[in-house]
Amino acid sequence: MLLGFALAVAAAPACLAAESGRKLPEPLVYLRDIDASILQDIRYAGPDNFTGRRVPGYLAAECVLLREAAEALSRVQQALKPRQLSLKVYDCYRPLRAVRAFMAWVERDDFDPLLKRYHPRVERSRLISLGYIAAVSRHSRGDAVDLTLVRLPAAQAPASHRDKVYADCTGPAEARPPDNSVDMGTSFDCLDPLSHTDTTGITAAQRRWRQTLVEAMRQQGFRNYRKEWWHFEFMHAHSGPAFGVPVLPRQP
């Protein structure tokens, strides 16, 4: 067993190098190449997400989208700038292997009590049936994006810590893991009814921020998913099948 583990560890850098040397398929582009002003905080490229670890398929913390979706997102950004607001993306293109990893996570037997804060009122076994996690995702086609709003000039958010005890994702913003975004009433990836875009359980100010985001995105052809205030799909995209290529480091 130890020998097998050692061989796997030794092979990992070579596998990573081989993956990172690949190129994105032609329909996909790096958002940074379309609009570098849009903030990026790609949560699945690290441990700051509901699984507690980097998600398979994310070899870089980069937003990748279909070109037409990225260009539409840039138009949203330009419309927001006069209001001293910026978009911040949490997830964009999601490889098929990541979607499968989410499904497998639901079925796993191990349980980290610190991660319960992402679904404080919903049992993990019910996350699929309730529509929070799915076997098929528009993210894998490159025309869906998870995002929020940030006031400009953007403040630097302190780093979150994997083992620190934070409030539930439905708790007060100052007690949740640090984020420099406006207060939408829950954190990103909060698998809870309070994340439903039109929920009545949030303050008037939080509701206005959600409406601001939904309207700004709607004007450029994005439709919100009603159970996640952060999730939007570009309805004008001429997207094809889902992609399996990993999120690769962007070449300078």
Q: What Å distances lie between residue 185 and 32, 47, 99, 138, 207, CA to CA?
A: 28, 22, 26, 25, 8
How high does pLDDT run on average in the chain?
90
Strand partners, 65: 29
Tell me the CATH class for 24-234: alpha beta
Q: How confident is the model at residue 161 (pLDDT cuts 50, 70, 90)?
A: confident
Nearest to 139 by CA among 81, 66, 219, 218: 66
Q: What is the pLDDT of residues 16-74, one digit of tens each?
A: 444 545 689 889 999 999 999 999 999 999 999 999 999 999 999 999 999 999 999 99
Q: How confident is the model at residue 162 (pLDDT cuts 50, 70, 90)?
A: confident
Q: How confident is the model at residue 163 (pLDDT cuts 50, 70, 90)?
A: confident
- The number of beta carbons lying within 10 Å of the beta carbon of residue 96 is 19
Size (the chain), residues: 252
Q: What is the pLDDT of residues 171-225, one digit of tens each?
A: 999 999 999 999 999 999 999 999 999 999 999 999 999 999 999 999 999 999 9
At 204 the pLDDT is: 98
Mean pLDDT across 148-176: 92
pLDDT at 12 over 90: no
pLDDT at 13 over 90: no
Residues 14-18: contacts with CB under 8 Å, at least 24 apart: 16/59
At 111 the pLDDT is: 82
